[in-house]
Amino acid sequence: MQLYYRKPIGIIYQHNPQLNPVLKELFRRGIDIDILDPSDCAFDPALTELSYSLLFNDLSLPPYFKRKNSALNQAIEYVRHVESLNPSARIINGSRASEILCNRTRQLSLFARLKIPFPRTRIVSSSDQLLAAANELKFPILLKSNQVDDPVSALVFENVSDLIVALVNNKVAVASGKATVIQELVPAKGNYTIRAEIVNGKVLYAFRIYHVLRPGRVPLEVKAESVTPSPEIIRVIENITRASLIDIGSIEYVMHKESNAILFTELRPHTSVFNITIEGLQINPIEQLANYIERRHQKVREIALAI
């Protein structure tokens, strides 16, 4: 029987590995990797011997791609099974982290529990609830899918009339029984969002993302530049990562242009592909991510040899 620490790293990733520079870097280093498509994560619940020394649920995706939600749910069930058999040292982004990274409602509940400020929000599960819930908020509003990695879901509505027109013309619909997030659009200072990238549960780097807002359409990202969050913000971010058990991912927040209040908007999978150069960034984030995965793999070996 092959010693488990000599087995390959299993990486759950739905898209072409050539679109993910982190995977390309691991391949370049000669690290033994198996790519698992979430839709192929069938497993025997009686299974006790795993095929991988380390498992990484990589939830990142190329821009403008959608992930199949059913496949993602299947992958999380597989990760949960792996957790029942092995210590967390052999899993990167376990089931709790994966569920929170994929689900805006769970993220907002986590923010509320940690007393972390976020934009005023309503959650609805039918088109009949949509208009009434929107009228409880201050326009402009964002309409978002509950699924974080749906890149074409965030629509901007400047007023209730625009929303009514979209509803009448069937340009907006809420799938029955599925949660949809309605959120006040924060007037962001400088018209940017700040995204902090997380590795090993800590802030690796952060950058501003400048947007062009287009009513009824997805906000367009047009520019990115490196920024260093304050120590206080870093503490809040790392408190979130501890509570959600996120090893690798990202967190976004904005500063209100009138009050200067910091509002956290969402957690996201890590940025494996970004189609805009981050100005002023002094590190190579792809190398840093690959280094972390390689270190985790080495730690598995060290633990096995010490037993």
Please state whether the predicted TM-score (pTM) of the whole model is above 0.85: yes
**What is the percent of the chain with per-residue pLDDT over 90, rounded to a whole number?**
56
Mean pLDDT of 266-287: 86
Lowest mean pLDDT among 166-170, 181-185, 207-211, 272-276: 272-276
Whether residue 191 is predicted with pLDDT greater than 80 in this model: the reply is: yes
What Cα–Cα distance (Å) separates residue 90 from each residue in 9, 11, 79? 10, 12, 11
DSSP element (H, E) containing 144: strand 141-145
Confidence of residue 120 (pLDDT cuts 50, 70, 90): very high
Query: pLDDT (tens digit, 9 = 90+) per residue, 280-294?
Result: 999 999 999 999 999
More confident residue, 89 or 286: 286
Pairing of strands 180-184, 192-199: unpaired
Q: Tell me whether residue 167 is exposed, middle or buried, using C-beta atoms within 10 angstroms of its C-beta: 0 to 12, 13 to 18, 19 or more.
A: middle
Domain covering 4-101, topology? Rossmann fold (3.40.50)
8 A C-beta contact, residue 248 and residue 100? no
185: nearest Cα among 163, 207, 155: 155
**Does the 121-184 domain belong in CATH 3.40.50.300?**
no
Whether residue 176 is predicted with pLDDT greater than 80 in this model: the reply is: no
Mean pLDDT of 71-76: 81
CATH number for the region 187-285 comes to 3.30.470.20
Mean pLDDT of 138-164: 84
Extents of the domains making up the chain: 4-101, 121-184, 187-285
Residue whose structure tokens are 């007037």? 187
